[in-house]
Structure 1
């Protein structure tokens, strides 16, 4: 058994580092387009939901300590069929998110380097990013982790500088909420915004090494989610307060437009490059972890392609899974729409989160609570509320998006039963 060495501050930092990535650099303009000054309601909605979901993750993770993360949680709670759906949906969500981020990088870079505007250049850039990171992962995990650390160091600096320098320039009139949007509008925007709150499930995978988990896990979740929510609301506030009704016009690079207003061309360039580096850092972490999820799924026969389990003779890395991940993400990036890919990622991961919330209820029926396990306070209230909110949010999808989502689930179900036979 692993030694418990990580305190609540260490876990909080890990959650913040995992969640704060690409979405917040692009989403403020898209959310303002739908809600204007009332965008704060979407942020509060997502903040409440992710807190409830992470508490459910913490309880299930303290009971099920097998490798495999969220796949293991669902598989052990509901059996192999839902475990299969979870594993594949999780991979689909990750690949869609990474493809969306690549498109966001090219859009942001094109705002200062017109060279990136042609579609052909964007395709070449995506190819270089995914197969370049894939190469780093194949030649060794040390090289990949070193690259992740370098990127992470400079990840949050542009955001904190932007907040500090912008605060005194806010126009309060731009923040006036003239009309409160109805719940359907908030839900639709929250579904898109939730893309910026994803990823904490990976950070909680180290829960087996947390000191005093019953006390420190909920404390870390509260601190990290509250910190992220405050950071996101501050960013949305300064963007709205400085750009006002013009904010929705800068969907590619809204925060750099704020920097342009307060610090001129230099500020614009620095924040743009910082945003691109932050997104690249997110992709470097994803390209390190997701191929290993694919390899694990193949090893457990969730994905019945044994070739995916192959290890490179020289570098000892899952090179086939890395190549498959790089290829699929590159192909999906050709969709060339950040918003569509972000909604696809959010919808699929919400189905996974729903499974974890329901797993809390199932596991409480199956066995007694052990002293070393973490238990969500309030009995069954939190997992039930979490499940209801997720279902409500999924109902915000358009009919076409719902049909697409359930078609994917239907195809996966058919594949599962064919594989089983």
Structure 2
């Protein structure tokens, strides 16, 4: 029998980088700069520390189990099957939708890079591009882990090369032209008001939280632990290494951009904001291509993580067994198909109104950031509903101290999150409830979990009766 190919340590590192670096660093670094001015590069360093604290809790949790599913597996082990199921199914729904959102963004941005204005991209054009992208991702996955690993690694290297090239070019330009970072402080709008306000504690926290979201994605990497070599050993090492690499790249690109032309970064209305910092056509083209590769890469990563979460629940008999079946290339093809349907149908049903459905992904992330640190503390003290992996090396500093710090940081995220903006819309007639967001929340957090719970309960009762 042919031995199953699994992702090695460096492939896990690259997959983690691919899961983190998306469109944000290319398209919207100006938002953080507008809030923090010349301190923007250091805001990203602080955000990296913030992310590493949370990532360490997920890395610590991964050493206590070899199961796939990431937060689902950790919460199920700590709190029991029902709590694990709720986290698993809400994560699956939100991750599927988030994948659809990222795919929609990739298609829309691709059209804009090709010269189409946003209002010229019709529903039909967007849908065709959307489906074509999903078909390509399906083909990449069903061909097997070897092909997926190659495409994932290549897309990760591609986006990193584009960013590193921009950093090196930026350093050369900064040496020749001097430091322009101070120009952002003097920038004013048409009303004569400063675009970048003086830094305050509240402003620092707001900028930090905004920069932190550029580091999210690490929490999904362990969803495919079953397809990784020694995940209980490799994941705890790979995740922090990947975030360190991402932090170095983010710091470098933001610093060089601020040195060269911080005003362009803050005021640009281009699709790929980062490209506007550079005047050279060659550098601009490299960055634009890098942005497209980055968008494609993060979709590749999502196509790996999300179906395996559904498969993990199927292996525990909490959803139909059909989603646990793999093809001849050892890919959970049925789980992939249903995931793609979620990713395609829900964004289409909402007419690609992303604000209405992104809230599901955000809330699911908060749930993970609260429950996983608590689960790790429970693992350390042996107070779990289900058994953990024997021989796991406990560490008070990473398992308890870091988990407590992570809970504090998550409380900060919850406090600074724009709850009002997420559940309301503003128009000329005033502010009203965002019905898209409310309906999405009801579907993702009530209706689907209830249906899945009754399925799992019926399956358990039937097994007991036999």
Q: Which category of TM-score, normalised to the shorter sequence, fits these structures?
A: 0.7 to 0.9
SS in 2 for 1:172: coil
- Does 2:336 align with 1:322? yes
- CA distance 1:153–1:232, shift in 2 (3 Å): closer
Of 418, 436, 446, which aligns to 1:397? 418
- CA distance 1:101–1:243, shift in 2 (3 Å): farther
Q: Using the TM superposition, give the Cα deviation of residue 221 of structure 1 relative to its aligned residue in structure 2, in angstroms.
A: 5.3
Distance 2:374 2:152 in 1: 34
Q: Give the alignment's TM-score, normalised by structure 1.
A: 0.81
Q: Using the TM superposition, give the Cα deviation of residue 135 of structure 1 relative to its aligned residue in structure 2, in angstroms.
A: 3.2
- CA distance 1:346–1:189, shift in 2 (3 Å): farther
Distance 2:22 2:97 in 1: 15
- Does 2:244 align with 1:226? yes
Distance 1:317 1:203 in 2: 17
- CA distance 1:378–1:69, shift in 2 (3 Å): closer
* Greater Rg over alpha carbons, structure: 2
Question: Is the CA contact 1:101–1:279 (under 8 Å) kept in the aligned structure 2?
Answer: yes
Tell me the equivalent position of 1:258: 277
SS in 2 for 1:247: helix
Question: Is the CA contact 1:195–1:346 (under 8 Å) kept in the aligned structure 2?
Answer: no
Tell me the equivalent position of 1:55: 56
- Does 2:323 align with 1:308? yes
Question: Is the CA contact 1:60–1:359 (under 8 Å) kept in the aligned structure 2?
Answer: yes
> Which 10-residue stretch deviates more, 172-181 or 152-161?
172-181
Q: Using the TM superposition, give the Cα deviation of residue 109 of structure 1 relative to its aligned residue in structure 2, in angstroms.
A: 2.8
Q: Using the TM superposition, give the Cα deviation of residue 287 of structure 1 relative to its aligned residue in structure 2, in angstroms.
A: 1.4
SS in 2 for 1:377: helix
> Which 10-residue stretch deviates more, 151-160 or 139-148?
139-148
Q: Give the alignment's TM-score, normalised by structure 2.
A: 0.74
- Does 2:208 align with 1:173? no
Tell me the equivalent position of 1:164: 168
Distance 1:17 1:277 in 2: 10
SS in 1 for 2:156: helix
Q: Using the TM superposition, give the Cα deviation of residue 182 of structure 1 relative to its aligned residue in structure 2, in angstroms.
A: 4.2
> Which 10-residue stretch deviates more, 144-153 or 383-392?
144-153
Gap regions ≥5 residues in structure 2: 186-195, 424-436, 459-466
Question: Is the CA contact 1:62–1:207 (under 8 Å) kept in the aligned structure 2?
Answer: no
Tell me the equivalent position of 1:235: 253
Q: Deviations over 1:303-345 (max 9, x none)?
A: x344434445x66643332222222222344454667766653
Tell me the equivalent position of 1:281: 297
Q: Using the TM superposition, give the Cα deviation of residue 371 of structure 1 relative to its aligned residue in structure 2, in angstroms.
A: 6.2
Distance 1:130 1:66 in 2: 27
Q: Using the TM superposition, give the Cα deviation of residue 114 of structure 1 relative to its aligned residue in structure 2, in angstroms.
A: 1.8
Distance 2:258 2:93 in 1: 33
Distance 1:268 1:153 in 2: 18
Q: Using the TM superposition, give the Cα deviation of residue 13 of structure 1 relative to its aligned residue in structure 2, in angstroms.
A: 5.5
- CA distance 1:13–1:147, shift in 2 (3 Å): closer
Distance 1:93 1:194 in 2: 19
- CA distance 1:173–1:378, shift in 2 (3 Å): same
- CA distance 1:129–1:221, shift in 2 (3 Å): closer
- CA distance 1:79–1:200, shift in 2 (3 Å): same
- CA distance 1:336–1:164, shift in 2 (3 Å): farther
Distance 1:14 1:135 in 2: 18
Distance 2:405 2:332 in 1: 39
Q: Deviations over 1:160-181 (max 9, x none)?
A: 0111111315512135575114
For residues 322-361 of structure 1, the aligned pairs below 5 Å read 322-334=336-348, 336=352, 344-361=360-377
- CA distance 1:92–1:30, shift in 2 (3 Å): farther
SS in 1 for 2:445: helix
- How many residues align structurally? 407
Tell me the equivalent position of 1:292: 308
SS in 2 for 1:380: helix
Question: Is the CA contact 1:98–1:286 (under 8 Å) kept in the aligned structure 2?
Answer: yes
